[in-house]
Structure 1
Amino acid sequence: MTIDSLAAPLQAALAAKGYSQLTPVQESVLEPSLAGRDLLVSAQTGSGKTVAFGLAMSPEVLGGIDSFLPADKPLALVIAPTRELALQVQAELVWLYEGATVASCVGGMDYRTERRALDRGAHIVVGTPGRLRDHVERKSLDLSELRVVVLDEADEMLDMGFAEDLEFLLGAAPEDKRVLMFSATVPKEIARLAETYQRDARRVEVKSAASQHADIEYKAISVSNRDKEPAIFNLIRWYDAKVAIVFAKTRANVNHLHARMVNRGFPVVALSGELSQSERLHALQALRDGRARVCIATDVAARGIDLPGLDLVIHADLPTNPETLLHRSGRTGRAGRKGTSVLVVPQAEFRKANRILQGAKLVAEWGKAPGADEVQAREDERLVSDPALTADVGEEAGIAAELLEAHGPESIAAAFVRLWRAKRSAPEELVEDLPTPAPLPPRERGEFGPSVWYKLSVGHEGRAEARWLLPKICEAGGIAKDGIGAIRVQQDVTYVQIAEPLAGRFREMTEIEPGLTMERVAEAPEFGPKGRVTSDRPARAPREGKPAWGAKPRFGDDEGDAPRKPRAPREAAEGASARKPWAKREDGDAPKKPWAKREEGDAPKKPWAKREDGDAPKKPWAKRDDGDAPKKPYARRDEGDGAKPRWTPTEGERPMRDDRPAKSAPRSAGYRSHGGSPDRPARSTGFKSHAAGSKPREGYGARDDAPRKPRGEGGAEGRPFVKRDYAKADGGKPAARSAGAKSHGAKPEGKPFAARKPAAKPVDARDTSKRFVPPKRPRG
């Protein structure tokens, strides 16, 4: 299908953009047999998919008319995985459908601004899944009249966890809608989603996987781990691309590389998920304006972005799968331009890189990173062929003549070279120049093959473990972990088995890190049943004051005696007394065992044996003779038993518990909770809760026939339940009322209780006679 067969508005828009013919994917979706049908399109990145689905949905958007009428509800919905891709699609559809209203709904933007745009009406809505769902749930986006739904980069949206949001949006749209899915790859999840929400969909595959990215040159650079970052810096200097993008796996790696490149003077920006939308837009605008030439980004942040002049893609961290490799590399080589994709492969990840390339059905050219001399020579070539040297002399002719007369051509040329090099940092020196690792021959499981043994200067005493040593050995030799066999950790050293083809990567003595060395062993060590080396077992140093192991008899034996076994019991001669195993015994001086029976007359008596009459003390719990046995302390004593007479209360003293009144009477003032103590009398029983069966009282005094005076002059303090005498005592000072409460204490002398003033009447809000009026301020 050609451009002439399109609608007039689309022809004018394509002509204005300089389109002379359509790309293969654009021609495929416009086939007459596919009109009005659901499509599942698989095309490589950068093949013009945005314009392709824009043309494919033209029958639903235009509806057979050449101009757009005011929109009430959206007719088309385009869903993209990232904000940048959604805004990029919006910009493409704006020029393709001139006169149509294209609204965007992406995260990070003002929600109220988007809602006002939707309320004014939009023909096409472009957004990310999460924000579009928010608008639908809040009733600001109505999908009842939707005719077509486009899922751009559907595989990436599923990888990012938008499956639930996509199902919600597709379920909220009418059943007779048209669904178009565009993706670089079609995994099983995409096929399952197409079967659920598409009706009799047609699969359109523009190119086979073997011919993908024909305009992209793939290179794989083999480096050691310590040369990984210097190799990236040299690659950027070597290619000198107008715009280059470096992919890292995590945000932390992005920030680390960004800081390192800023320190070296590279015009670089970062693009990661932690940035706000405005920061992302500023970074992309800096790349488009030329203020920045290098972008360091994660996979998600750079998904679907289109930067003009992007000629170089560097994979600082290897992608996780072949699909990610295709999406990363698809940022270059777009619209017929040539591009380069470089994989920086450490020696330990050689097999992983080959696996990813085979999965993507791509062939990469293996090589080594350019060194400092090569980078400098390449930049000198650019200096000699710089267009500024061949340009005509214009307004600078006067000052050029003065410089020639004052300094001469050689000095000026040297100054020009110094100024050229001052704008760029010095090339990076690579520590090691390793060739491409050769794959090891296949071996059967359990057989390592020819190998060489090395001894490391750390063992159990240094807390060495195989999982800690394995990456260090791989990094030191630039080998993969399958080149390492057994790792035997001993007490002071560790033995490591290295495949013989890779043994040349290590010297006779290699320092892995300060304090950790790796030395080649001439012969393979012999290991015992528990994995310990038996050939060169180090001798244990003797402890202070004790002989070395096996050097002299142990346990204090005399010189010349056979060493005794440490745990074997020694048989004693018949009739000889036993001795302690660790004590040296002389004839006749051997001590007896403490548990041996002593001679008659010398054996001590048992502590519980009955003593002789008159000497053995009686047990405290033994029963005394008649008349002497003490009575229990809680038993009532009778007079005449010799015991102390029982205490009886005198006048003014509190009774004991046994003399309290019955339960039917008011509770005694002896309770602690009622204030009773030897130092402080109990509270008055005038309280309602302290009198059993009493009537409601009046005032604070105990109830009596005559009511107590509320604030009369008190007398001497009396016993509980006794009516007080309010006569003045002690020189006329009033006694305290019911001293059991703090608030009932006596008032200071000379200050009688004043009569309480009557309560003020409530103020009537309608009465303005006594309302406060602020005084007037004096003028001037």
Structure 2
Amino acid sequence: MPFQNAPAPLAQALAARGFEAPTSVQAAILADDAKGRDLLVSARTGSGKTVAFGLSLADTLLNGAERCGPAGAPMALVIAPTRELALQVRSELEWLYAKTGARIVSCVGGMEPRTEARHLSAGCHIVVGTPGRLCDHLKRGNLDLSHLKAAVLDEADEMLDLGFRDELETLLDATPKDRRTLLFSATIAREIAGLAKRYQHDALRVDTVGTNTAHTDITYRGILVDQGDMARAVVNVLRLVDSPSAIVFCHTREAVRQLQHILTERGFASVAISGDLGQNERTRAIESLRHGQARVCVATDVAARGIDIPDLGLVIHASLPSNPATLLHRSGRTGRAGKKGTCVLLVPPARRRLAERLLQAAKVTAEWSGAPTPQAIAEADAERLLGAHFLSLPPSENENIQALTARLVAEHTPEQLATALVGLWRKSLPEPAQLRVITPDATRTRGPRDENAPPREPRERAPDMNGSWFRLSVGRADRADPKWLVPVLCRLGGIKKQDIGAIRIVNDHTLVEIAQDKAERFAACAAAADADEMTVEPAEAPRKGPPGAGGGGRPPFGERRGPPKGRANFDRKGPPAGKSGPSSRKRK
């Protein structure tokens, strides 16, 4: 019998959920030598940690019975770093303890504190919450920890990284000294070891994977793509990889908003999760993914921990993670509970070496390739259609459907019916994007050029190109200057210097003219770039007038200006944020 050491009500709940055998961390916690002891556990994300500590708490909460006693002061406390993870833990514990009558209360930021206080005063068995909100209830006298028998610190390394050490110590100091302490962390760094030494007694060390070990159920792929083609590459990866649901990670909230808008316009049912959204909006977004109402979630790293979506088979890094731990936690949203997953890193050629070092530090091996082409996507679509389950369904017993089927077969040839089926199938799918494919072994970012071809003449920019205008969110107050704006616009929008026409700088924004034939590409590239501190939007042409009229116009090229002071410069090759570029050097 699977989970034979688990109490009967919990074993029944696990069987009803389809759990056939415990994972390595669950088996270690159910072992006889782990019962009743403090535990110091390192296990990979997605390995079933929540069920593991839920099982470990069972003897403490049930004390040999099959149902919990009357609810009063909490007997168990679970502390998690984020709202999403805390709510996910509460949801997992609710179905696991459903047959025991356990009452579980959550206390997280973004929710109504008075409602939480009423639930606490009504009595409960388990409290799940974030450090800040739990401390707030403790100080206000709403949370009584004097009868606590067990405390769980989930993702302890993340809580320390987020600066919650004081809150953790406040909560643990308010609990009885003889309580059990279960500490879960991806890695056991020095700070974690210090926390364990202070608050644990004779803890059993459980290490099921080793430090920074990646999932064996995740296939990693690195795709080389121009920065300007990033959004189109996301579209094609989503079209190529057949996954019921997917998450696309971006660094910034603005990039999330723009990419989610692009995907929605392309026909993908998508939602967004970022720091701009309230807790209710985030919860609705996650639920829409779980219920199949949305297929794609575009998110910042706020979604890298604690979000468990069934059948999430694809993770796309549209922005490179900042460190190996973030890479593993982002990627850990897929390949969970024994299921297979795919992780794709979209990498500009100039950042390939950085991506390779990141993968190496995370002990991950990736297969490199160019972006999926429309032809490859069409071939994958054909295979999916030929293997579609509806082609193997038995004839319908509905008389109306049978009659309609007979008419279609009688009035049309098999070729006509098959052509109609293919047409309807393709019509339901988002159109692939056209983009430049960069092969992994390419030594140049541009395609090969005929050695005997005459040198290309540079195309001069027309004084009045009658192009499309765009509005930048930086202006004279931010020290905007064409000397650093032009190269930024070229890299941001995938254009050349001669594609840029007039530049008119006013106090709070800048208007830029882009050649008409490049305007659509510029808009798409700019929308997909990680430019949280500077936005690019279509604008109307300015009124005719001399340069500088109305406070606009280009500043003299000799004027000392640089990137916006106090802003993060998204152009990594340009001058640092808050400092002027080469144009600011004094002439001798």
Scaled to the shorter chain, the TM-score interval is 0.7 to 0.9
Deviations 1:660-696 (A, max 9, x none): xxxxxxxxxxxxxxxxxxxxxxxxxxxxxxxxxxxxx
Partner Cα distance (1:425, 1:4) in 2? 48
1:515–1:4 CA distance, 2 compared to 1 (3 A): closer
Deviations 1:225-261 (A, max 9, x none): 1221111100000012111111111211111111000
Partner Cα distance (1:343, 1:365) in 2? 10
Find the counterpart in structure 1 of residue 499 from structure 2. Answer: 514
- 1:169, CA displacement in angstroms? 1.2
Partner Cα distance (2:344, 2:297) in 1? 15
1:308–1:2 CA distance, 2 compared to 1 (3 A): closer
Written as runs of structure 1 = structure 2, the 5 A alignment for 1:673-752 is none
Find the counterpart in structure 1 of residue 92 from structure 2. Answer: 92
> Which residue, out of 392, 409, 417, partners 1:412?
417
SS in 1 for 2:385: helix
Find the counterpart in structure 2 of residue 220 from structure 1. Answer: 222
Partner Cα distance (2:51, 2:223) in 1? 36
Partner Cα distance (1:56, 1:211) in 2? 24
Partner Cα distance (1:236, 1:189) in 2? 40
Q: Is the 8 Å Cα contact of residues 222 and 436 (structure 1) preserved in structure 2?
A: no
SS in 2 for 1:4: coil
Q: Is the 8 Å Cα contact of residues 210 and 362 (structure 1) preserved in structure 2?
A: no
Deviations 1:198-245 (A, max 9, x none): 334333211124753011111111111122111110000001211111
- 1:329, CA displacement in angstroms? 1.0
Q: Is the 8 Å Cα contact of residues 159 and 165 (structure 2) preserved in structure 1?
A: yes
Partner Cα distance (1:323, 1:437) in 2? 30
Partner Cα distance (1:183, 1:423) in 2? 44
Partner Cα distance (2:231, 2:366) in 1? 21
Find the counterpart in structure 2 of residue 428 from structure 1. Answer: 433
SS in 2 for 1:410: helix
1:225–1:20 CA distance, 2 compared to 1 (3 A): closer
SS in 2 for 1:234: helix
> Which residue, out of 176, 189, 194, partners 1:174?
176
Partner Cα distance (2:118, 2:493) in 1? 61
Q: Does the alignment pair 1:66 with 2:76?
A: no
Which residue type is aligned with residue 256 of structure 2? V
Q: Is the 8 Å Cα contact of residues 186 and 211 (structure 2) preserved in structure 1?
A: no
Find the counterpart in structure 2 of residue 190 from structure 1. Answer: 192
SS in 2 for 1:413: helix
**Divergent runs of 4+, >6 A:** 455-458, 467-477
1:415–1:129 CA distance, 2 compared to 1 (3 A): same
Partner Cα distance (2:442, 2:137) in 1? 55
Find the counterpart in structure 2 of residue 742 from structure 1. Answer: none
1:120–1:198 CA distance, 2 compared to 1 (3 A): same
1:475–1:107 CA distance, 2 compared to 1 (3 A): closer
Q: Is the 8 Å Cα contact of residues 103 and 122 (structure 1) preserved in structure 2?
A: yes
1:389–1:65 CA distance, 2 compared to 1 (3 A): closer
Q: Is the 8 Å Cα contact of residues 6 and 30 (structure 2) preserved in structure 1?
A: no
- 1:474, CA displacement in angstroms? 7.5
Partner Cα distance (1:432, 1:33) in 2? 56
Q: Is the 8 Å Cα contact of residues 348 and 475 (structure 1) preserved in structure 2?
A: no
Find the counterpart in structure 1 of residue 121 from structure 2. Answer: 119
- 1:464, CA displacement in angstroms? 7.6
Which residue type is aligned with residue 194 of structure 2? R
RMSD, aligned α-carbons: 2.9
Find the counterpart in structure 1 of residue 302 from structure 2. Answer: 300
Q: Does the alignment pair 1:46 with 2:46?
A: yes
Which residue type is aligned with residue 402 of structure 1? R
Written as runs of structure 1 = structure 2, the 5 A alignment for 1:200-239 is 200-209=202-211, 212-239=214-241
Find the counterpart in structure 2 of residue 484 from structure 1. Answer: none
1:19–1:514 CA distance, 2 compared to 1 (3 A): closer
Larger relative contact order (CA 8 Å, sep ≥ 6): 2
Identity of aligned residues (%): 51
Q: Is the 8 Å Cα contact of residues 245 and 313 (structure 2) preserved in structure 1?
A: yes
Deviations 1:155-176 (A, max 9, x none): 2222333222222212222222
The two structures have a TM-score, normalised by structure 2, of 0.73
Q: Is the 8 Å Cα contact of residues 476 and 512 (structure 1) preserved in structure 2?
A: no
Find the counterpart in structure 2 of residue 157 from structure 1. Answer: 159
The two structures have a TM-score, normalised by structure 1, of 0.56
Find the counterpart in structure 2 of residue 272 from structure 1. Answer: 274
Q: Is the 8 Å Cα contact of residues 105 and 128 (structure 1) preserved in structure 2?
A: yes
Find the counterpart in structure 1 of residue 323 from structure 2. Answer: 321
- 1:134, CA displacement in angstroms? 1.4
Find the counterpart in structure 1 of residue 387 from structure 2. Answer: 385
Partner Cα distance (2:136, 2:176) in 1? 18
Partner Cα distance (2:324, 2:381) in 1? 34
Deviations 1:601-620 (A, max 9, x none): xxxxxxxxxxxxxxxxxxxx
> Which residue, out of 407, 418, 432, partners 1:402?
407
Partner Cα distance (2:212, 2:71) in 1? 44
More divergent stretch after superposition (364-373 vs 93-102): 93-102
Which residue type is aligned with residue 14 of structure 1? L
- 1:345, CA displacement in angstroms? 0.8
Find the counterpart in structure 2 of residue 143 from structure 1. Answer: 145
Partner Cα distance (1:301, 1:208) in 2? 24
Written as runs of structure 1 = structure 2, the 5 A alignment for 1:618-657 is none
Which residue type is aligned with residue 292 of structure 1? A
More helix by share: 2
SS in 1 for 2:327: helix
1:62–1:416 CA distance, 2 compared to 1 (3 A): same
Partner Cα distance (1:464, 1:18) in 2? 62
Unaligned 5+ runs, structure 1:
440-454, 478-509, 517-780
Q: Is the 8 Å Cα contact of residues 217 and 340 (structure 1) preserved in structure 2?
A: yes
Q: Does the alignment pair 1:105 with 2:90?
A: no
